[in-house]
Structure 1
Amino acid sequence: MARPRSASHDLKRDQILDVAAQCFARQSFPAASMNDIATACGTSKARLYHYYESKDAILFDLLDRYTQRLLALIGEAEARAQRKNLSEREALNELVRAFLTEYESSATRHVALVSDTKFLGDGQRELILNRQRDVVAAFTRFLKRAYPDRVTPANQTALTMMLFGMINWTFTWLRPGGTMSYSAFADEVVQVLEHGLSRA
């Protein structure tokens, strides 16, 4: 009979994933070892294996949970827009703010999503890539509803990826406690969406 999991099991897994994401971002996924992760967690490698059978298993759980979180943010934004009776542009702006709020606390997880998905096995990689495609498709829907006269079948991919270009690489330059906060940057992205770079 399997031993029941403790109530803190998932919490400890979350802590391991946070530390592992930091290790992967700092050293790269191929260079980071289970021993490195265990040391950074302040535990033994044997204890780490109690939670994860391999570094690959850690990476998949990290990306599995993170992509599910991004999809949940989209569902929450849609529900909030309905509940608050937001306009389509306000709904898009809320989605942008929600993603940037998430990115502020998940920068190393986002690095793993951008850089390390390629190290997953075929089935796992396809699952994560499909979720990324779902996120992109959702942003396209929000954009089309917000700017129906501007977003067309011919340019919707370009405009969606232009928006992602503004927000998806913040982990490379935007630092909590720096000269610009994530909230202030979200305001700037919304202003560019609404008015371009013109002050008019």
Structure 2
Amino acid sequence: MARTIAKDYSEKRGQILKTAAKVFAEHGFDRASMSQLAKACGISKANIYHYYGGKDALLYDLLDRYLEDLRDRLAAVNGAGQDPQQHLRALITEVLLAYQGADAEHSVQSSSLRALPPEQQKTLRGYQRDMVLQMSAAVRSVAPQKFADDKIALHETTMSVFGMLNWHYMWSRDNSTEARTSYAARVADLVLHGITA
């Protein structure tokens, strides 16, 4: 007889993913085991296999949920009713706020995405590409003439913005919303006006 799905099945999967992100970030995906993950989750090894067939499936679900949610959250910042500079500021701020509380997921994305099969990587990189294209469009709209014929400069500027935002969690000791909003404004000022402004 097939095992019935508990009412809190989705909630428990979410809790497993959150814990797995911390374990993968701390110990590395390659070194973490399902036994270690089960122990960290406070459940038996047999029970964790009820939710995930293996470590690879767990990693993919973790990154798929994280990156899809991130992509969708940024897509909601569509610039409606804003001038190009306001839109870019809003997008930069939303990136940093979307990262809040997801340091482990962010770390796992950077270190372990390549451990997945090519087709799964393709899906996940698609989310990343969508976010880069959105930021690139926002950057270009601020200075359309500057970037009209210089795709390299546009790409370098776009990736520099993400570079300033992506590693904030590594050195900032203040994870508050206020600190993130303040830093996002600083990044926007640097992009829009340069260091001497």
Q: Could you state the TM-score of these two structures normalised by the residue count of structure 1?
A: 0.89
**Structure-2 change in CA distance of 1:194 and 1:34 (3 Å):** same
Asked if the contact 2:100/2:175 (under 8 Å) is kept, the reply is no
Give distance in 1, aligned partners of 2:121 and 2:38.
25
Is it true that 1:145 corresponds to 2:149 in the alignment? no
> Tell me, which stretches of 5 or more residues in structure 2 are unaligned?
none
In the other structure, the counterpart of 1:108 is: 104
Asked if the contact 1:111/1:171 (under 8 Å) is kept, the reply is no
**Structure-2 change in CA distance of 1:175 and 1:14 (3 Å):** farther
Asked if the contact 2:71/2:127 (under 8 Å) is kept, the reply is yes
> Tell me, which stretches of 5 or more residues in structure 1 are unaligned?
none
Where 2:145 maps in the other structure, the secondary structure is: coil
Deviations 1:149-177, CA, capped at 9 Å, x for gaps:
33332411111111111111223222445
Give distance in 2, aligned partners of 1:119 and 1:189.
32
Matches within 5 A, 1:173-188: 173-177=171-175, 181-188=179-186
Matches within 5 A, 1:27-176: 27-78=27-78, 81-82=79-80, 85-151=81-147, 152-176=150-174
Give distance in 2, aligned partners of 1:119 and 1:111.
14
Deviations 1:71-100, CA, capped at 9 Å, x for gaps:
10222101xx31xx1111111111111110
Give distance in 1, aligned partners of 2:172 and 2:75.
26
Deviations 1:3-42, CA, capped at 9 Å, x for gaps:
5533322111111111101001100100111111111111
Give distance in 2, aligned partners of 1:138 and 1:105.
23
* Alignment length (residue pairs): 194
Match for 1:49: what amino acid? Y
Match for 1:23: what amino acid? V
Q: Could you state the TM-score of these two structures normalised by the residue count of structure 2?
A: 0.90
Identity over aligned pairs, percent: 33
What's the RMSD between the two structures over aligned residues? Answer: 1.9
